[in-house]
Amino acid sequence: MIYIKVALGERAYPIHIGEDLIHQEALFAPYIDGTSAAIVTNSTIEPLYGAQLRATLKRAGKRVQTIVLPDGEVHKNWKTLNQIFDELLGEHADRKVTLVALGGGVIGDMTGFAAACYMRGVPFIQVPTTLLSQVDSSIGGKTGINHPLGKNMIGVFYQPQAVIADIRTLDMLPKRECASGLAEIIKTAAIADPKFFSWIESNINALNQRNALALAYAVKSSCELKAQIVAADERETGLRAILNFGHTFGHAIEAGLGYGQWLHGEAVGCGMVMASDLSVRLGLLEEATRERLMRLISAAHLPTCAPSLGIDRYLKLMQVDKKANSGTIQFILLRKIGDALITGAPDADVRATLMASV
């Protein structure tokens, strides 16, 4: 089993990565102080792993409640969040309850937000079951829900007690979900580690085929890099914003098409292509590097052409992005692999990128 620490002082917590972790009651027990736990999952994941995790927590001596939410990004909203509160209150869950997020990024984000709000804050554990959530969304304490005008616009920073990533859950992952997770792995390497980026290029076929050793190394490396960045800038006041490479364009795609039409990683993959195009237009990035990044994104079976939403629609959606400053859109761009920056861009260049990307 791999152990990584997210060094946040008194809010520090571990990331455990390995096989069959869902069955290890001794692993969960130290992170649940009280006698009760509430598993929050969705209608797809519950039949796969719900009974296994319930049995594990019961062996650890915990009283277990299960809250099953509808599956999909389209349900990441106030109505579904309130279902968590309804069921917790219906079972008289007190402030000693620990919420356990069993699922992908949507479940992790909503469970964390619910934990931050319920009785003004209860503990929670992340048990991510998708590649994207194991390498990205479960780490760093970003929680929240979507708004029709923008993705993840309502939420708080709230750190988990632990992240327990069982890579055996990736065996059941649909191909699109696997590719979606690869987008976040590529993103992390592109902004922070040129050697890891080269390793991904050499091993992309093994990752596509879900080779266990390749996946374990990719998850470990991504988690280590994200943990370092989060520890340096927990609340995204500076450095941590580079983790949003591809997200300004990508979030606009998700909101513009309607949440759930493209998976998050698909939108981020295309968004990275768009951001690298803008980087070239601003004279920051060499064309050869843009082409190298696009080849890898394509090899991961991710889209490289953006949907046609209309340039003005894209601009309006990107102005709602959390990084926007006084209405000015801020982009995460590249100077080279492993060297990202946060900057604005002239409207003409942004429009040229949008025109070229569709």
Residue corresponding to tokens 């569709």: 358
Q: What phi and psi values does residue 224 have, to the nearest 5 degrees?
A: -60, -45
- The one-letter amino acid code at 208 reads N
What 8-state DSSP symbol labels residue 39? E
CA 167 to each of CA 116, 183, 342, 349, 354: distance values in angstroms, whole numbers, following the listed order: 27, 17, 33, 42, 37
Residue 226 annotated to the active site: yes
Q: Which of 16, 62, 142, 187 is catalytic?
A: 142
Residue 76 annotated to the active site: no
Residue 254 annotated to the active site: no
CA 75 to each of CA 69, 145, 339: distance values in angstroms, whole numbers, following the listed order: 8, 9, 36
The tokens for 16 are 């455990």
- Which residues, at least 6 apart from 261, have a Cβ–Cβ distance to it below 8 Å? 254
Q: Which of 46, 73, 184, 266 is catalytic?
A: 184
Q: Which of 75, 76, 187, 247 is catalytic?
A: 247
Region of residue 43 (phi > 0: left; psi between -120 and 50: alpha; otherwise: beta): alpha
Region of residue 103 (phi > 0: left; psi between -120 and 50: alpha; otherwise: beta): left
Residue 201 annotated to the active site: no
The tokens for 213 are 């050793």
- Which residues, at least 6 apart from 257, have a Cβ–Cβ distance to it below 8 Å? 307, 309
Q: Which of 16, 75, 151, 251 is catalytic?
A: 251
Closest CA to 112 of 222, 13, 233: 13
Residue 151 annotated to the active site: no
Residue 184 annotated to the active site: yes
Q: Which of 187, 240, 281, 290 is catalytic?
A: 240
Measured CA to CA, the distance from residue 331 to residue 350 in angstroms comes to: 10
The tokens for 332 are 């995460």
Residue 251 annotated to the active site: yes
Measured CA to CA, the distance from residue 69 to residue 71 in angstroms comes to: 6
Residue 147 annotated to the active site: no
Measured CA to CA, the distance from residue 309 to residue 358 in angstroms comes to: 9
Q: Which of 226, 254, 266, 281 is catalytic?
A: 226
The tokens for 122 are 């209860």
Measured CA to CA, the distance from residue 158 to residue 118 in angstroms comes to: 12
Q: Which of 264, 266, 281, 290 is catalytic?
A: 264
Residue 42 annotated to the active site: no
Q: Which of 244, 266, 281, 290 is catalytic?
A: 244
Residue 264 annotated to the active site: yes
Catalytic residues: 120, 142, 184, 226, 236, 240, 244, 247, 251, 264
